[in-house]
């Protein structure tokens, strides 16, 4: 006969490859639950033992023994609780993405993930063999069916668990963030609920891992498809819910306020993802802080604001590196923002460095007209200074290029691209402006004229970005249609865009793959961010014509 018990959703921030640390996180939650509750059923995320994604660590010969040792340690802490946790399981020559049920010091059953995603950032078929059998475990008289992440996006794994007699489904996840992802998760889980008439417990990990951000947002949905409860996003959290589930909570009401055409809720979500991505990249890789070039422009201003929010002012250094083309406005605005945020601020002029380079190159450049080479040399002088500070202090250099610039190559290799992490890598310029206004809505941060002045790299007199590029409102739409939606030039032009703008933009995107291949990693916000999502050849005669 079924008894009432507590599901405890553990939305934890694991660290890839840290078996001991990840087990310690799990043990702490288990021991706390076993102290407080008679019948706790703890649910951890997918591959919580290794962290996600472990990538080619899964190909190391030692992966099996390391996982076995970690599981042995974890099992020792489990007495009267039931613990559902994810890990890789080696069986003969096959490796499975497993969810195990631990009780009274041993693994009582295991489920092997059926649906192995192999798109966007996922390549699980490189590592895992797909499972094919449902797993339903009796816990306190209730039959609990297990699924893992991608399984919930496909009908058959849930249907198989239902046919095997499941009365509730548990879904372990390492589901990375992109904009509007939580609504997509709700829709997928609700579809499985309505197909099976079963409630679902959905537990997702949280934290940054290289370019990926996992936003948590774990939730429980009842058999009517209504939310029973939902955990906060972008932070570790643990929540308890009694089974059978009580009536659902009222749905969250989203704000209708708009900032530069984006809803304030959307901007808050993106802001949180960027802050978490920076914080975990810096902390998990052991950097004592960050350093960045603060130009007085909008991109570096936003990067500085995010870094301060992620790490605190004491771990952030901003460096202004003026040249003859740097305006007094830029000098004043950079100093004002640094003072507002309380970060360490340095001014290192590059005039003498640039002059020295030009003197050394005088014979090489003889008879050749000035061009972008001289502009790029300014950026490279700045890159040398920032990387030298990094070398000496151990601080990570944050680059400040946005997605619009990276798409069309409006950046300098070994100059403004020199660094270890690009916060705005997947943030188009129009979203940069909106995020600046959003940050200022929380309190004074970015001087207003930084946002309102025409964007300029200030590498030559009276330079404006839109002298070389279409207006950002146009450029960003073309990039979205070509990069994220894979539309052809002909299809984009048919939507009313100027043919010259489209063909020039697409040509620049295709030609600059070699730059992007050498760019630092950065937070992924879309389904087609530059990096793991989009893998185009550098050497290619492909050209996107009409």
480 CB-side CA count, 13 A: 15
Task: Give me the pLDDT at residue 253, please.
Answer: 66
pLDDT in tens, 294-306: 999 999 999 999 9
| 341 pLDDT tier (thresholds 50, 70, 90) | very high
Give the right CATH number for 258-461 from 3.90.1300.10, 3.40.50.1360, 3.40.50.620, 3.60.15.10. 3.40.50.620
With contact defined as beta carbons under 8 Å apart, do 269 and 181 qualify? no
pLDDT in tens, 377-411: 999 999 999 999 999 999 999 999 999 999 999 99
CA 308 to chain centroid: 18
Q: How far apart (Å, rounded) are the C-alpha atoms in residues 61 and 76?
A: 25
CA distance to 58, 420, 422, per residue, from 519 (Å):
26, 9, 8
With contact defined as beta carbons under 8 Å apart, do 405 and 298 qualify? no
Q: Is 531 left (phi over 0), alpha (psi -120 to 50) or beta?
A: left
pLDDT in tens, 277-328: 999 999 999 999 999 999 999 999 999 999 999 999 999 999 999 999 889 9
Q: How far apart (Å, rounded) are the C-alpha atoms in residues 403 and 409?
A: 10
Give the right CATH number for 5-243 from 3.10.20.30, 1.10.10.1100, 3.60.110.10, 3.90.1150.10. 3.60.110.10
With contact defined as beta carbons under 8 Å apart, do 273 and 261 qualify? no
Angle subtended at Cα 393 by Cα 391 and Cα 394, rounded to the nearest 5 degrees: 65
Q: Which two tokens stand for residue 422?
A: 């690009």
With contact defined as beta carbons under 8 Å apart, do 522 and 211 qualify? yes
Task: Give me the pLDDT at residue 249, please.
Answer: 63
| 458 pLDDT tier (thresholds 50, 70, 90) | low
- pLDDT above 90 as % of the chain: 86
With contact defined as beta carbons under 8 Å apart, do 378 and 356 qualify? no
Q: Which residues pair with 203 in a beta bridge?
A: 172
pLDDT in tens, 229-277: 999 999 999 999 998 888 666 666 666 788 888 999 999 999 999 999 9
Alpha-carbon radius of gyration of the chain: 26
Instruction: Reply yes or no on whether the pLDDT at 546 is more than 60.
Output: no
Enter the pTM of the model: 0.93
What positions carry a catalytic annotation? 46, 113, 149
Q: How far apart (Å, rounded) are the C-alpha atoms in residues 511 and 541?
A: 10
Task: Over range 57-77, report the average pLDDT.
Answer: 95
pLDDT in tens, 470-522: 899 999 999 999 999 999 999 999 999 999 999 999 999 999 999 999 999 99
Q: Where in the chain is the domain with CATH 3.40.50.620?
A: 258-461
Q: Where in the chain is the domain with CATH 3.60.110.10?
A: 5-243
């Amino acid at each position: 006969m079924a008894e009432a018990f507590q599901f405890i959703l553990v939305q934890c921030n694991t660290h890839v490859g840290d078996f001991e640390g990840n087990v310690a996180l799990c043990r702490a939650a288990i021991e706390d639950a076993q102290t407080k509750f008679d019948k706790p059923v703890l649910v951890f995320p997918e591959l919580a033992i290794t962290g996600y994604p472990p990538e080619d660590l899964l190909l190391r010969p030692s992966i099996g023994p390391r996982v076995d040792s970690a599981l042995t340690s974890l099992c020792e802490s489990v007495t009267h609780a039931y613990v559902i946790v994810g890990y890789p399981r080696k069986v003969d020559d096959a490796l499975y993405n497993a969810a195990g049920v631990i009780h009274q010091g041993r693994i009582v059953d295991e489920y092997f993930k059926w649906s192995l995603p192999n798109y966007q950032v996922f390549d699980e078929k490189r590592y895992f063999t797909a499972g094919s059998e449902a797993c339903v475990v009796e816990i306190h008289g209730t039959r609990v069916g297990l699924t893992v992440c991608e399984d919930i996006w496909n009908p058959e794994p849930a249907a198989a668990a239902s046919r095997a007699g499941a009365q509730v489904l548990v879904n372990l996840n390492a589901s990375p963030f992109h904009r509007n992802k939580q609504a997509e998760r709700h829709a997928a889980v609700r579809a499985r609920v309505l197909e099976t008439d079963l409630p679902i417990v959905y537990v997702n990990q949280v934290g940054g891992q290289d370019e990926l951000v996992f936003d948590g947002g774990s939730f429980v949905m009842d058999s009517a498809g209504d939310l029973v409860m939902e955990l906060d996003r972008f932070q570790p959290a643990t929540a308890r819910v009694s089974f059978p589930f009580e009536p659902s909570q009222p749905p969250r009401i989203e704000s209708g306020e708009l900032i530069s055409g984006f809803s304030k809720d959307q901007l808050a979500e993106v802001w949180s993802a960027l802050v978490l991505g920076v914080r975990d990249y810096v902390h998990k890789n052991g950097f004592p802080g960050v350093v960045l070039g603060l130009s007085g422009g909008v991109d570096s201003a936003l990067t500085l604001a995010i870094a301060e929010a992620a790490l605190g002012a004491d771990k952030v250094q901003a460096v202004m590196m003026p040249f003859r083309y740097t305006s007094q406005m830029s000098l004043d605005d950079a100093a004002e923002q640094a003072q507002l945020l309380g970060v360490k601020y340095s001014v290192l002029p590059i005039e003498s460095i640039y002059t020295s380079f030009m003197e050394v190159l005088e014979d090489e450049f003889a008879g050749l007209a000035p061009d972008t080479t001289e502009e790029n040399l300014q950026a490279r002088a700045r890159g040398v200074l920032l990387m030298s500070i990094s070398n000496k202090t151990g601080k990570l250099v944050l680059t400040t290029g946005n997605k619009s610039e990276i798409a069309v190559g409006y950046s300098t290799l070994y100059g403004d691209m020199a660094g270890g992490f690009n916060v705005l890598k997947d943030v188009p310029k129009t979203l940069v402006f909106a995020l600046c206004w959003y940050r200022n809505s929380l309190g004074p941060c970015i001087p207003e004229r930084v946002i309102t002045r025409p964007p300029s790299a200030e590498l030559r007199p009276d330079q404006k970005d839109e002298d070389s590029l279409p207006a950002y409102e146009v450029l960003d739409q073309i990039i979205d249609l070509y990069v994220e939606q894979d539309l052809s030039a002909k299809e984009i032009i048919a939507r009313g865009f100027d043919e010259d703008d489209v063909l020039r933009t697409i040509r620049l995107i295709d030609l600059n793959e070699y730059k992007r291949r050498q760019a630092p990693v950065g937070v992924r916000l879309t389904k087609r961010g530059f990096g793991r999502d989009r893998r185009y050849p550098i050497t290619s005669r492909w050209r996107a014509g009409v």
